[in-house]
Amino acid sequence: MRQATPADLPAIVAIYNSTIASRMVTADLEPVPVEQKRAWFESHTAGRPILVHEEAGAVLAWVSFEPFKTRAAYDATAEISIYLAPEARGRGLGCRLLEEAMQIARERGLNCLLAFIFSHNEPSLALFKRCGFTSWGELPAIAVMDGQRYGLSILGRHLT
């Protein structure tokens, strides 16, 4: 994995948009344009980066770290997200990237990671649990998509 550059943003957005129709990964209901994600991309710092995984020159996955809260006591905690291109799913890549991302998080001074995953997204829940995350709570029926209500599971892992 490497630090994402502005040139990676179209691939990052394409991977993100590839997950919307499934209603399993993101609460966005329609594909987003690259320009809509530019401010989000630029808000990331060395301590809270976006990382990409490339194969044969193509970005196949990305990981982002977001501040959990802006108050100082939470500075060593971040929300982690991981997105894989359709052709990269089901190959074991997710766990390898998540393990590598946790090491990078440690190196950047993070000691706790949180993941917010739709409660019906069993593949993502299983991925994070395989990588040592445990259930820290659930927000029941807080998302409405296509007239259905969905819960949001909170998983966490202490890195130190």
82-112 tens-digit pLDDT: 999 999 998 899 999 999 999 999 999 999 9
Query: Tell me, what's the pLDDT at 101?
Result: 95
Three-state DSSP at 62 gives strand
Neighbours of 17 (CB within 10 A): 18
* Percent of the chain whose pLDDT exceeds 70: 100
pLDDT (tens place) for every residue of the chain, 160 residues total: 999 999 999 999 999 999 999 999 999 999 999 999 999 999 998 889 999 999 999 999 999 999 999 999 999 999 999 999 999 998 899 999 999 999 999 999 999 999 999 999 999 999 999 999 999 999 999 999 999 999 999 999 999 8
Query: Tell me, what's the pLDDT at 46?
Result: 86
Torsion of CA 152, 124, 121, 57, to 10 degrees: 110
Predicted TM-score (pTM) above 0.85: yes
Question: d(Cα 13, Cα 68) in Å, to the nearest integer?
Answer: 22
Query: Tell me, what's the pLDDT at 48?
Result: 93
Cα 112–118–122 angle (5° rounding)?
A: 95
Where do the H-state alpha helices sit in 18-158?
Answer: 34-42, 93-107, 122-130
The CATH class that applies to domain 2-114 reads alpha beta
The domain segmentation of the chain, as residue ranges, is 2-114
Query: Tell me, what's the pLDDT at 64?
Result: 97
Query: Tell me, what's the pLDDT at 37?
Result: 97
Neighbours of 27 (CB within 10 A): 14
